[in-house]
Amino acid sequence: MQPVVAYQFLPARKPAVVRRLLAQLPAEHVVAILDLEDSAADIIDVGRTAELKAAARANLVAALPLGPDGNLPPLGVRVNRSSTPYHDADLEGVAELRRRGHDVAVMLPKVESAAEVMAAADFFACRGLAPPRFAILAETGAGVAGLSSILGQAGTLIDAVVLGMIDYAYDQNLWPFPGPFDEELWGVARRVADAAAEHGIRYVHTPCLQLRDAPVIRGIRRRVAETCRGPAAMISLSLAQTRTIIMPGGEEAPDGWEQRPVDPADEARGVVRRFRDNQHAKRSFSVDAAGDRYISPHEYLAAVRFLERQGLAP
């Protein structure tokens, strides 16, 4: 992958929608990640998830039926975790795109061992295809703790390391989830960025859940530049945020992050209520317009878990 400013996650929905979203991204500044994982799941009606995964896989292949298009940004696909029943079928979808001439990279979630990366590379080799470039997500306690070892063993296959703070916070039972300038987040970011730099691999910062706050986004970008001592750092953003950071306005980035103190139980109840009110069958993330942010499925699950452990009704 060429140096970029942002990783852009796009759910693998209707092929026409995918192609339209890809056409809106500036090819020289973005790696578009077509998602088969979190955006193709229903955590409320879990019986639908297998159907959603299969549909996303079919949409992915149908969205790119022809040879490579020079007007599109570099492409990656986030597949499901190697321990899930969807992983091999996802890799086969990527293999089909590569047979059609698309230079598609693979993003592996929740990686906790070098063997996972090597097995994915072998999947393509067994089909007569050169291994794709891999980006791995460090988003569990075990994945962050073992990252240097993973990169030491499989680093030649890995193009970038992405911090997945949402899943990490859920895995580590954090509540409330850290905000974009909380030291709890940046302590993990430094560990991941340092491990990446040690092995000469690029670091990609965690997605920002804020929707429209351009100064906050630029402040995050500045903190990434200060934190990462290795190859060019990037930020994982929504479509609107990608436009903001690539074509910034004149506002100055904030010096700090003013986050109001919250009561953990009140925050959890609010997250549960807003997620349930706004979530529907067409998306897995909830858009909280009043709070100017996304609510991820894992934040919802963490809120429910917190309330249940406190003996409170979600």
Domain ranges of the chain: 6-257
Given the candidates 3.20.20.60, 3.40.50.720, 2.70.98.20, 3.30.1360.120, the CATH classification of the domain at 6-257 is 3.20.20.60
Sign of CA dihedral 118, 150, 84, 10: negative
Is 143:188 a contact under the CB 8 Å cutoff?
no
The CA distance from 304 to 276, in Å, is 11
Cα angle at 189 between 188 and 194, to 5 degrees?
105
The CA distance from 217 to 292, in Å, is 13
The CA distance from 181 to 268, in Å, is 20
Q: At what angle do helices 114-125 and 147-154 cross, to 10 degrees?
A: 30
Q: How far is CA 138 from CA 11, 35, 51, 142, 146, in A?
A: 20, 17, 27, 9, 9
For residue 268, give every residue at least 6 positions away whose Cβ sits within 8 Å of its Cβ, in sequence order, or none: 175, 176, 303, 304, 306, 307, 312, 314
pLDDT tens per residue across all 314 residues of the chain: 557 889 999 999 899 999 999 989 888 889 999 999 999 999 988 999 999 999 999 999 999 877 677 778 899 999 999 999 999 999 999 999 999 999 999 999 999 999 999 999 999 999 999 999 999 999 999 999 999 999 999 999 999 999 999 999 999 999 999 988 899 999 999 999 999 999 999 999 999 888 877 888 888 888 898 999 888 888 889 888 888 888 766 555 565 555 667 799 999 999 999 998 887 656 788 888 878 888 999 999 999 999 999 999 88
